[in-house]
Amino acid sequence: MKTKPVLSTSILAMLCTAATASALTMDTVTIGDPGNPDHTTGYGGVATTYAIGKYEVTLNQYREFLAAVAVTDTYGLYNPSMGTDLNSRGITQTGSPGSYAYAVIGDGNRPVTYVSWFDAARFSNWLHNGQPSTGSQTAGTTETGAYALNGTISGVGISKGGGAQYWIPSESEWYKAAYYQPAAVGGDTDGYWLYSTGSNETPNSRNGSVSDANSGNFIRSATPAADGVNDGYAVSGSTSYSDSQNYLTDVGAFTQADSYYGTFDQGGNVWEWNDAVISYDYLISSSRGLRGGSWGDTKFYIHSSNRSYNDPTYEDSYVGFRVATVPEPTVSVSLMLVGGLLLARRKRPSAL
């Protein structure tokens, strides 16, 4: 059974809403147990406490980002396929450079796709810088912060800087959030599960569930078909691919199928970028890491042993991301900080 750790709450964020009413709220969970060992795969050990997105970054959140910094969209944060690929479409762009506007199509709680590693890094910088809304992609909005991008749009020479407030999780940070649970509190004997649902058993493929603690948005087929469970693609319940079907589920739609720390959808829905730089002799250039599998992948790709990669400029209907951040203050510290503010009133990838 997945016994949950005690996590800090979002009291500071909730109490500060009036001062920052237009700011995005990024739901995060604290990943404790610092200094845990690596899994036998060589990943998962993290020396410090950190926090990570409870969910993948959503269409609503990414639209807010575009509206804030992409009036001209100097560095291509918007991919036109976001509005046209029926498998995942969710954001439209209208207007012309200097006056671009963005709108969400349908349910904005689905994960954003067609985002590159560089898009994720610029989103992280924007969060790090306090979500400025200047319309431009410049130093102080997207080009400096956690990552010193300064116009860089290719290559793997950018590393997270010191003092980062939001960033793309390292491979081990992502891996620990997905699979780790200390054996002493109900985890597997080695402290790691094979799937991000806190299980060593293959999850069920289905279109969201409020009762199945071992399920996700990927492809699994059973014979005979199981009436909405393991009938192929999770959303459509079919083994046949359709180019007109939107295959994404809302983040957190599998309400019981979270990890030990409380993250959702780290197995299926969309692949997620991590900060790993992966180089192999047969690659033309170095790549960035991807993990978790997607709506269009089988159980092999959502297994903890699957380490994947692609060029950091890669964008597709299969690919999204989540962010990592500093852990929240404890409740008591949060209340003290808020009190001070109130008194002051001054506020598809390749598999290895």
pLDDT exceeds 50 at position 14: no
Residue 303 pLDDT > 90: yes
Range 148-157 average pLDDT: 96
Helix (H, G, I), strand (E, B) or coil at 320: strand
Q: Which residues of 63-85 are buried (b: 16+ CB within 10 A; e: fewer)?
A: bbbbebbbbebbbbbbbeebbeb
Number of C-beta neighbours around residue 279 at 10 A: 10
pLDDT at 347: 35
What is residue 349's predicted lDDT score, i.e. its pLDDT? 56
pLDDT tens across 250-300, in order?
999 999 999 999 999 999 999 999 999 998 767 666 899 999 999 999 999
The percentage of the chain sitting over the pLDDT mark of 70, rounded to a whole number, equals: 86
- State mean pLDDT over 122-142: 98
pLDDT at 172: 98
Query: Do the beta carbons of residue 7 and residue 261 sit within 8 Å?
Result: yes
Q: For a pLDDT cut of 90, what percent of the chain falls above it?
A: 82
pLDDT of residue 338: 38
Confidence of residue 163 (pLDDT cuts 50, 70, 90): very high
In the chain, % helix, strand, coil (3-state, to 5) comes to 20, 15, 65
CA 73 to chain CA centroid, Å, is 22
- DSSP code per residue over 88-122: T--EEEES-TTS-EEEE-S-TTSBP-S--HHHHHH
Give me the phi and psi of 205, to 5 degrees please.
Answer: -95, 120
- If you count them, how many residues does the chain have? 352
Angle at 64 between CA 11 and CA 13, to 5 degrees: 5
What does the angle CA 175 – CA 177 – CA 179 come to, to the nearest 5 degrees?
65
What residues contact residue 10 under an 8 Å CB cut-off, 6+ apart? 25, 27, 28, 328
Beta 204-205 vs 215-216: how paired, if at all?
parallel
Question: H helices within the chain, ranges in order?
Answer: 11-15, 59-69, 81-84, 117-128, 171-179, 299-302, 331-344
Q: What is the CATH number of domain 1-10+27-352?
A: 3.90.1580
Rounded CA-CA distance 210/261 in Å is: 18
Residue 220 in this model has a pLDDT that exceeds 90:
yes
pLDDT at 340: 41
- CA gyration radius for the chain? 20
pLDDT in tens, 51-89: 999 999 999 999 999 999 999 999 999 999 999 999 999
Residue extents of the structural domains in the chain: 1-10+27-352
Q: Calculate the alpha carbon distances from 318 to 248, 268, 303, 311, 349 in Å.
A: 9, 9, 16, 14, 8
